[in-house]
Amino acid sequence: MFFSRKVITEDELVDLHGKVAIVTGGNTGIGYATIEFLARKGARVYMGSRNQGRAQKAIEEIEAKLQKSGNDNQASIHWLQLDLSDPRSVKEAATEFIAKEERLDILVNNASHSSFGPYKLNQDGLLDIMVVNHISHFVLTETLLPLLRHTATLEDSDVRIVNVSSTAHTHATTESFAARENLNKQFGDSVTGYLATYGHSKLANILHIKNLQTRLNAQTSPITCLAVHPGAVMTVGASGFLNSVPFFGWLLKVFFGPLFFTSWTQGAMTSAFAAAGKEVAETRKSKDEVERRKYEGGYLVPVANISEPSTYAKDERLQRELYETTMEVLTEMGIAFK
């Protein structure tokens, strides 16, 4: 599937001086480029990453780029220790963040387990890809939600929560999320099976964002929640997946990669628009209710276009089931929210 290749520039993003953002998985790929976008607009950005060495190297690279381009906007980038393979440590990291920051304007749940298996169950009996791609980001979001809601009450606030999903969600045929076994659902030990399992976790990203928007609207909390498909981007994960496909994957990567895959920066444009696009902010000020809610719970595809996700992703029953089952699993793990 081909998407529009328009370009998002800094002029199309809101000013972020005095604003605080978190981007998970920011030491490489789409997250790295998203952080660069937000920092250029003046935000104080936290790079959620497990490895301090890699995070610090990435931070120094981005800061050097900003200095070289003459971008002296008082932006700052900081490491946030975040191990998404362990929801309990994610809870601790988010709690520590709340203790030291008085606001949070942007949360971009970007990090992702790769799209090639095999996948396995962790010590809690949960599928590793679902833990990283959905459960831990759910914990991060729910723990930070009081701070996000508080920020939304401040003058001139524009709080956004973004889940980076994938068009791979259309490969998942998921009839129910009403029990733990549905979180652990796998689609076989093959390239297509791994892609469908990955898509299953990416479907959860969209279901989560839509349920979250519904809950926030019920609380009349003015927060915009969006899911995005970044497009085909030559990230480490994409490269690894292609390498796992005998011969054809290597052929696609070497000879056709430049035609079908975009750069990190191009891949991050839709995420940056979702997190800080002026158009999103302007629609919220509209007197027309339909226009005002245009982006709420929306799904964006490259570049920054509203699109329709799969029928499963729009299923309100699945949205509720995923929320309830995730909460039940986390309660069993001793993780609770205020």
* Residues annotated catalytic, as ranges: 165, 198, 202
Straight-line distance from the first to the last Cα atom of the chain, in angstroms, rounded to the nearest whole number: 42
CA distance 26 to 224: 21
Note whether 24 and 111 are within 8 A (CB). yes
- The token pair at 200 is 């299953």
Question: Is it true that the peptide bond before 301 is cis, omega within 30 degrees of 0?
Answer: no
Residue matched to tokens 């999320």: 177
CA distances (Å), 295 to each of 4, 25, 147, 218, 292, in order?
18, 24, 22, 16, 8
DSSP state string for 235-304: -HHHHHHHHHSTTHHHHIIIIIHHHH-B-HHHHHHHHHHHHHBHHHHHHHT-SSHHHHTTTTTEEEETTT
CA distance 314 to 297: 10
Cβ atoms within 10 Å, residue 293: 16
Strands 298-301 and 305-307: antiparallel
Q: How deeply is 278 buried, as exposed, middle or buried, from its count of CB atoms within 10 A (0-12, 13-18, 19+)?
A: middle
Say how far residue 321 (Cα) sits from the centre of its chain: 21
Residue matched to tokens 């989560």: 208
